[in-house]
Structure 1
Amino acid sequence: ALGEAIGGSEAGFIRRMNQMARAMGMTRTTFKNANGLTKAGHLSTARDMTTLGRHLLYDFPQYYNLFSRRSEDAGVRTVNNTNRRFLDSYRGADGIKTGYTSAAGYNLVASAERGRERIIATVFGGRSTASRNAKVAELLDLGFRRAPSSATLRLPPRPPYFGKGGAPAPSTAPPADAPGGSGSSQRPPAGHVVRVVTAVAKSPRPKPRPQQATPAASDALLAAIEDGVEDVVETTTPAPTVPPVTELAETNLAPAPAPAPPVVAAEAAAPAPAPVPAPPPRPQDVTIAATDPSYSPVEELEIVTHVSTSGDGSWGIEVGRFTTRYDAERVLLKIALGDLGTLGNALRKAANRPDGWHATFVGMSEEAADLACRRLEARAQKCRLVGPG
């Protein structure tokens, strides 16, 4: 009814929708109906929907608070916001819009503000509300980690207003003192994405290491070396070669001289060292610890896999009970890696009790434990608060 009142007919309103989308820079969006249901050729992209959410935030700031409401009184009944689970589970979330069809899946254009930083993220094609919200939370966390701490705000250019005839109507931009007014006839240019390529196209070959040049030997030096070598060769005479003896003359045979008697030292022999007494035998009643299989020097202690540094350390959350310690620790590690923002500093503990291994995160403040539990429940993960004691 609103579309027909503005555009004269549904077809006329759809034409105005496509004109406005092009004016806002949504170049890959085509509307075929006003209700958003599946139809051939009716399509958009996550980037175009993010652009639409940015215009909605900055072009109509006086109405943006509607998207952060959890419910609204329609007169005959109270209507709940379909995005209330994400608004409650993600810190700083204040919008924007969910969407679902069997062909497109679970979709969400979300926005969150922390301090002076705002991130808008869009997810298309989720398999469930929980998986979609988890992916959006992951994208927003990534945006807040990479967002610069100081940057110039670049508002998107306000698109022209198309009248009933389809032509742009006179500008209705608010004055400088009104909400959203810029104080000039033209708003600042829209921001653009800068992709920095850090990989080099070609790796340069490193320069060779400089080597110290060896000075050329002079002719006089070479002559002196040669003379020295010749002198050494002349002074060195080879040993005479002894011919083999084939027979001996009788006149040359002489008795060999008797060996000289050994010389006896005049000094007295040194006294022999005193004998070292042998150690006493080991008593038979002494038991060596290393040979006793029942000996246990240290009592087995519980392994702490992470040190807690958050809050007063008196609260925790339980995420399930398992039949083995391995299963409990595996689930704890998987959940911790999926939500480092709230569980990165918590202590993972698998406690053996009569009904099984309890998988818990401990060492948290009450606020951190409550936030972590709500975020896990939004992802269809069972969670229970564990108080002090």
Structure 2
Amino acid sequence: MYNPLPLIQRFFAALALLVLLAGCATTPPDSVLAVPAPAQKYAAIVVDARTGKQLFEVSSTAQRYPASLTKMMTLYLLFEALDSGRVSKETQIPVSDHAASQPPTKMRFRRGESIDVDSAIRAIVVKSANDVAVAVGEYLGGSEDQFAAMMTSKARQLGMTSTTFRNASGLPDGGQMTTARDMAVLGMALRQRFPQQFHYFSESDFMFRGRLVRGHNDMLGRVRGVDGIKTGYIRASGFNIVTSYNADGRNLIVVVMGADSARQRNDHVEALIQRSLSPTTDGAKTRLMFAEQ
């Protein structure tokens, strides 16, 4: 549901919360306060993934464009197919004309080529490859539209009540919406449901056909304990990220949406992690849950 406050009130409410946050973080205040400038795009939430407690939020139930965070659900359904035995890591996924025609970022496959499931997972996680995400959707759903319906159905099963998927990649579609809260639920679900596959989200590069493919999730290696998950950007969304922190007995899911740049987004995530690990943090006690499969 949308926040009932008028837009300008929501902006100043978010700003006030972030001023408080800046006082608790070691990151310079300017880098924190710069993030929510486009109030119609910004949203954030931090959840303790072990308890489901909400530690921080701003506009976490407001509708936002997921961009490539969409691919987290594409991967969720691919991991389910692996678990059920429908596919193996060696299964070849064909690339159709429709998949090959997707705009970058992509692996630049041609029609008739194929990619094995293991490489497809890495291409989606590391490269955020739109052509591969669509090929996976077509393979599992019969068509991308049918796969998007499967994605939305799975979202409801997980408790993502405000998310609608229209494609497998996150490329612009006015009907494809989510919330920061729902993305946190999905991040928690991926870790808890597929611990044996979660290592993919910590990869920052991979080899494919003799060349090194590098990723752009700069949170990996920046903060000790960060082990995934996914970035996203389209013009309508701003810079989005879902980040998993897992160290020293703490497991956090941090979602930031709508930043003006990747640098602002990453600075903000780091500040939120620092705040959430502080023993003086007095977070809300709201519990986020997702349904068992």
Q: Which has the larger radius of gyration?
A: 1
- Greater per-residue helix proportion: 2
